[in-house]
Amino acid sequence: MRVVLQRSKQASVEVDGTTVGAIDHGLVLLVGVTHDDTEKDAKWLADKIAGLRIFEDDAGKMNLSIQDVGGSILSISQFTLYGDCRNGKRPNFMAAARPEPAEALYDRFNALLRDAGLHVETGRFGAMMDVSLVNWGPVTLILDSPSSNQAPNS
């Protein structure tokens, strides 16, 4: 699994002009699933994200997690994270998981974040979405689960 994580002051997602998810401060997660991902990958990423210390403490050091600051998560499914642009001018999405298993693992990932005590809003799987956010910092990180066989920009 691959997640592009952005620290955000506020974020929302619309489908067909209707807001389906919105948060105040927290994290926006763009979540991609590849063929060999399992619940183990989802659990590893959920645990990593819940404890990742990327919010400033009183001394200005990135020393606090989303749990520490009472933030929320806006999780957006995004198969294009597994787009391969190395050949030609059109991305190849063969590394992205098929919709049925990808949606099930994406839903499980969000449930694991909720199990960690986090408030999670989502977009709508497979829909065309308009995502708005105020990137705070900016702070943007790319996380790959340990069993992911592709590194970013590979």
Q: Annotated catalytic sites, by residue?
A: 78-80
| Angle at 33 (CA atoms; ends 101, 76), nearest 5 degrees | 100
Tokens representing residue 54 in the block: 């990327």
Tokens 């399992």 appear where?
Answer: 38
Rg for the chain (alpha carbons), in Å?
15
Is 54 strand, coil or helix? coil
2: closest CA among 123, 106, 121, 85? 106
